Amino acid sequence: MKNPHPERPLVFAHRGAKAVAPENTIPAFLKAIEMGADGVELDVQFSADGALVVIHNMTLDETTNGHGRVTAHTLEELKELDAGSWFSPEFGGTRLCTLEEALDAIGDRLLINIEMKSFSMGDDGMAEQVAEIVQRRDLYDQVIVSSFNPFALRRLKKADPRIETGLLYAPDLPIYLSRAWLRPWARPDALHPEYVMVDEAYMRWAQKKGYPVNVWTVNEPEDMRRMIDLGVNIIITDYPDRLLDLLT
């Protein structure tokens, strides 16, 4: 993935500019562009009929007027839902989008972190489908693909080793997902720890191993400043405008 600002951390809008628009929707991505973010982080999971839909939660209840698991509904059914009114009446009628629709809306105006919500140790086909889209659209310089699932990252690298990947982990997850234990096996190009895990010792270790460090989700100015001072590569935040103010 290209870096237009090597002198500073890149600013990625978490699920779009989710503080000012409904998360993981095209309006949120357009708001991120408007704010001047360098990139956007978005989540994909499967519909019942195998479409890659941009949504974070496993269930529909919190961010749409639908109910139940995302994977229990076809794309046609998901497209009928209102994904904006829960946030504000201003966004009433906003629809869920597919990964391809999100990419069309973003164009070449943002770098993109695609997080695969793949929950299977076996081959569910998600890595291969994401790889095919990146290949067909020639997005190698624009995209990094991340996941908490090291098996999914390994499958993606097998499908196309040219695609940049990042291993997500956090301290409150099961032990095998709370550290980079499976890093040598998953073969990520970058590490995506929750920001609370990152300190000077962590940065020295990551730099020695040759890994860029891309942190999430950093919303408070004091935490943003600490990550800037530590020299992380990407900061993912709900408030890209707040972070950009600190960087200018």
Residues labelled catalytic: 14, 56
Four-point Cα dihedral 187, 191, 194, 197, nearest 10: 100
Spatial CA neighbour of 197 closest among 219, 209, 213, 183: 213
β-bridge mates for residue 247, sequence order: none
Residue matched to tokens 């991505």: 29
Contact indicator for 190, 164 with CB cutoff of 8 Å: yes
The two three-digit tokens of residue 25, written as one number = 């929707």
Q: Which amino acid is at 59?
A: T
Name the burial class of residue 184, with classes exposed (0-12), middle (13-18) and buried (19+) by CB atoms within 10 angstroms of its CB.
Answer: exposed
